[in-house]
Amino acid sequence: MPERATVAESDAVVRVCARAESHEGAVILDLRNTTFLGPLAVALLASCVALRARDGRQTSFEFPRQADPARFFSEVGLSSFAAGDSTGAGTLEVRQMATLDASYTRAVTEMLVRGVPGIDEANSYPIELCLNELLQNVFEWAESAVGCFVLARWYHKSRSVRVAVVDRGIGIPGALRRGPVKRLHSASDAELILEAVTTPRLTSRSNQVGGLGLKNVSETVLQRRGRLTVLSLSAKLSWSDENLERADVPRFGGTAIELEFRPDAPVERPYDYVPVF
Amino acid sequence: MPRIQIAQLSHGSNVTRADGAVLRTAIEQRWNDAEPVILDFQALRIASVSFFDESVGVLAKAHGREVIAKRLRVENIDSSDRKLLNEIVSSRAREHEHATSGDSLKVLLREVGVPEDILSTWDGTLLALYQDHGAGSASLEVALRAARENAARGDWALDLGHYETALSREVGQSLKEKFDRLGVTYQTRSLAYDWQDGQRASAP
């Protein structure tokens, strides 16, 4: 594993996962030299372990040598996960979900309200909203045989929340290419991710409404000057402030999303509607 | 007034589109009641675009904001949920208005004789309706003469970009009034101004 395994190095983590997933026998994922492990890397590794476990292949971890990453590694429950134990009952641990469990998203936000000064019912709302939308997308579209892997963490230093959701399904570009919008069928992976995140009402649903979820997630994050990263198939796009970074990544079967924002960041959002209710 | 207790209806499942569809069905069963339906969100926080969109958003797209405001009331809703619901309803109601105005416009154009094949290939972006006081020709003299004749007749021109037709004074005036009532955006001069190289004159 790379020394740093944050969202910026996610392509290196994807490469490690791909190598492990192609290996027939038992695999040890070596994190001894890893000094920083972000939520996206944890969820990616969990998805790799689950895919291998589905085929009866064993995966284990070498703990990070340094104290801080070792503690984080222990807190997020990756070793237990690899051992086949149930994780995620405490919301600090990575959790594999087979269905959308609204009580989980509620528990995450309640934990923040209880444990983080400055986070209250009102400003925890966007966290719950983003989690619900990301999970809804997974279970409606992803066709992931192993469900999805979720980790939400609070970072005291930046006073921000980071949420990672990873599935191993057909990918956002794959879903849109199957959809009714013909012009998207020949678009690149990066273009399709961009469309999915920025175009309102774009949906792969036929003759039905849809397409507000991911757009709403990106607005929620970016209005709070946060960062949103979407990695799917061969492309990774990352939004922060006014910037959009695109990168080609080793092909990843599925979608990996990490978002980071300060829930209590002031939002200047001009309402362009007259309330009905 | 008929009341739907969302907590009772959903049994804790109030996040997904499928959950939203259950609520929409319950609303539709009471849609023709004399009184508006009350959606009671007591003890719930929804925090889901998908749920609100599939339940009330779909209805807003189908019926528009005025009907939604008449037919539905919400009570005991979390303040953040209320904002989200309003955003979704407004967004979907705009789609309804856009679709309705597009349909109404095509009805008007059909009434003044625009052929069906022209309407079916018209994307709605180019539209001009104007009293035809102008005329175009390679010769300024010819253009001026034709322009004076057009002005005397008071005919109107309807231009869809790939199709142009003349309308009588009465039909043109009536169509203009209908466009204005409907809030249709249209140019009041020939679209040809944008790309014509020949001489063009306009009668006073």
pLDDT band at B5 (very low <50, low <70, confident <90, very high): very high
Neighbours of B36 (CB within 10 A): 15
Amino acid at B13: S
Task: Kindly list the residues from chain B whose CB atom is less than 8 angstroms away from the CB atom of residue A132.
Answer: 15, 47-50
Q: What is the largest CA-CA distance in chain B?
A: 80
Q: Please tell me the predicted confidence (pLDDT) of residue A208.
A: 55
At A237 the three-state DSSP class reads strand
Question: Within its chain, how far is the Cα of A115 from the centroid?
Answer: 22
CA A9 – CA A5 distance, rounded (Å): 5
Distance CA B28, CA A94 (A): 40
Of B47, B61, B95, the CB nearest to A129: B47
Contact between residue B36 and residue B68 where contact means Cβ atoms under 8 Å apart: no
Picking from A135, A216, A273, the nearest residue to B90 by CB comes out as A273
What is the rounded distance in angstroms from the CA atom of residue B36 to the CA atom of residue A243?
46
pTM of the model: 0.77
Under the phi-then-psi rule, with left for phi > 0, alpha for psi from -120 to 50, and beta for the rest, what region is A166?
A: beta
Q: According to the model, what pLDDT value does residue A236 have?
A: 97
For residue B37, pLDDT over 80 is answered with: yes
Q: Is A136 on the interface with B (CB under 8 A)?
A: yes
> Is B87 close to A273, i.e. CB distance below 8 A?
yes
Higher-confidence residue of B193 and B18: namely B18
Of residues A28 and A204, more confidence is placed in A28
Q: How many whole angstroms separate alpha carbon A152 and alpha carbon A161?
A: 7
**Residue B98 neighbours by CB under 8 Å, 6+ apart:** none
Percent above pLDDT 70 for chain A: 93
pLDDT at B133 over 80: no
Helix (H, G, I), strand (E, B) or coil at B137: strand
The DSSP element (H or E) to which B24 belongs, if any, is helix B17-29
Using 50, 70 and 90 to split pLDDT, how confident is the model at A202? low
The token duo for A118 is 């400055």
What is the spatial distance between Cα A201 and Cα B92, in angstroms, rounded to a whole number?
Answer: 9
Q: For residue A191, what pLDDT band results from cuts at 50, 70 and 90? A: very high
Helix axes A10-22, A39-54, angle to 10 degrees: 10
Which pLDDT value is given to residue B149?
82
Q: Is A206 on the interface with B (CB under 8 A)?
A: no
